Amino acid sequence: MAKSLPGATVLAYLFRKPVAFAVSVLIFIHPGLRLAYATNVNVYTCYSGPTNSPVTSVDSNTIYTVANGLNNAGTVVGQIELTTGHKQGYLFFGGACYLFDYPNASATSPNAIRDDGVIVGSWDDSAGRRHGFFYNGQWNSYDVPGSTATSIEGIGGDTGNVLIGQFATASETSGFYVVNGQAFRVVYPGAKTTNLTAITKDDVLLGNYTTSDGRTHAFYVLRGAFQSFDAPNAQHTFAASINDAPSYEIVGFLQDRSSGEWRAFTLFNGKFNIFDAPQQNSSNTLAEGINNENTIVGQVTLPVVVGQSTRQLVEGWVFGPGGWPTSSTGVIPDVLPGKWLWQSNFPDGGMNQCTGAPTGYIYAANLVFASNGAVQLQLDIIYNYTPDGCTPCEQTTVWNLGGTYAAYGPDLRMNNVRGQETNQDTCNPASNFQTPSGPFNYDWLWIVSVESGGSLLDVQTQSQLGSHFDHMLLANPG
């Protein structure tokens, strides 16, 4: 069982040395309202696909994408749930999602990531029991002694190694922190349940607690003292994350007492800024994490069309100077609009015994950018073969794809892809077909650089189209 300390001295061991701030740091009025958080919110959906790219169009295999936290480098961690019921963790950086599971877990939820890449969170075993984990190059499971469920919500403190979170026993649900392998129980005075959600470098704790009336309230712990707070007009207030000095900015979410809607908030110098994601018809905006660059991450619910029906999809979002850059569609260098061509031959070593012509594959790409954000891509695969050693046969597969493109820092993304696939075989007409191939449930992430004064385009892609299309050096004949 975790050791229990009286509320007034719960952090006494943390403050053996003087602390360079006082409670008043969180109650002065901020001179300006940070309304910028209500705009320029980049929404993304991670999914279990071959490209590991976030998609901004519909993914019929994903129920939700939740961003739980991020570090000062802008790397985001969170969880996705698939329609199969499987829940995976993900890392999101450089405009791409990278999915992972705790070994043999039925569900994985990473909750925070340290600047050096150490990740903490929770995982569920096959029996549905929840355990904490931390990943430092190796997977490590952790349970508070005597607990029936443990979740690690954050890592930090003056040593950088203090683990904080929530654990449950048969009789209660409490917060905890772990120092040097020793777990200490944290209970907000008089609360039914307590949860710790974040910790700063100088050991300010953040969390939530519930009261006997079922309401949830937020609190922070400073110099061993609990300070409770509620957002304006809130039925429930959840404090999710706090950044380090000198800002000590808190983010979280509340349930509006009047409408029942969930809304995000920031709390800076005692001033609440309550906001919603600006996407049309969005609902239930939650702020889950903030870093020292004032990048905020969270989740939002948006209506999406899957097939002939509309459903609600929970998606992740990022706002701020770190993490996913805030570029918008159409922000492409002037050198890119135009026609770009690529061809590569991959003979298989065979040849037509009558003509001596090589057999094998020819890959070609024709990429056209328009300045209004439209893009047209044609990919050709030509396979020359001789079924009898002499008869020349050719199988041609062509993808004609159209959509829009967006720029995110060094990355281009092809969005809203629709197209047509055509297959023709000069010696086997039974294999010929033409079929629509869109809309696609994924985007292609292109890492682009322009070389030789704008005449060459170096493109690296993440796609389903095979290794020969993973890297193309395209030339602009104009």
Same domain, 314 and 360: no
Residue 375: what pLDDT?
A: 85
User: Is 58 a member of any domain?
Assistant: yes
Residue 125: what pLDDT?
A: 97
- As a whole number of angstroms, the distance between CA 171 and CA 190 comes to 15
User: Is 144 a member of any domain?
Assistant: yes
Same domain, 141 and 287: yes
Cα 91 off chain centre by: 6
User: Is 328 a member of any domain?
Assistant: no
- As a whole number of angstroms, the distance between CA 14 and CA 204 comes to 9
Last residue of a domain, one of 262, 284, 319: 319
Residue 33: what pLDDT?
A: 30
Same domain, 228 and 376: no
What is the span of the domain harbouring residue 401? 338-475
User: Is 238 a member of any domain?
Assistant: yes
User: Is 324 a member of any domain?
Assistant: no
Look up residue 364 and give its two tokens: 């070609």
Same domain, 55 and 196: yes
> One-letter amino acid identity for 460?
Q
Last residue of a domain, one of 270, 289, 319: 319
Q: Measured between alpha carbons, how far is residue 173 from residues 8, 18, 167, 458 in Å?
A: 19, 32, 6, 54
- As a whole number of angstroms, the distance between CA 448 and CA 45 comes to 22
Residue 31: what pLDDT?
A: 27
Residue 455: what pLDDT?
A: 76
Same domain, 309 and 356: no
Same domain, 309 and 347: no
- As a whole number of angstroms, the distance between CA 303 and CA 313 comes to 6
How many separate domains does the chain show? 2
Last residue of a domain, one of 288, 319, 350: 319
Same domain, 240 and 193: yes
Question: Is the C-alpha dihedral spanning 291, 295, 301, 306 positive or negative?
Answer: negative
Q: What share of the chain is helix, strand, coil (3-state, %, to 5)?
A: 5, 55, 40
User: Is 282 a member of any domain?
Assistant: yes
> One-letter amino acid identity for 473?
L
Provide the CATH number for the domain around residue 59.
2.120.10.30
Residue 407: what pLDDT?
A: 56
CB 462, CB 411: distance < 8 Å = no
Residue 143: what pLDDT?
A: 97
Give mean pLDDT in consecutive 10-residue pieces for the chain, a chain of 478 residues. Answer: 35 29 27 38 67 44 89 87 87 72 93 90 97 89 97 94 96 95 94 97 96 97 91 97 93 96 93 88 94 91 73 83 40 62 86 92 88 82 94 94 67 74 94 80 61 70 69 78
- Complete DSSP assignment for 99-142: EE--TT-SEEEEEEE-TTS-EEEEEE-TT--EEEEEESSSEEEE
Tell the residue number behind the tokens 């509006």, with chain if given.
256
Strand pairing class (182-186; 3-4) = parallel
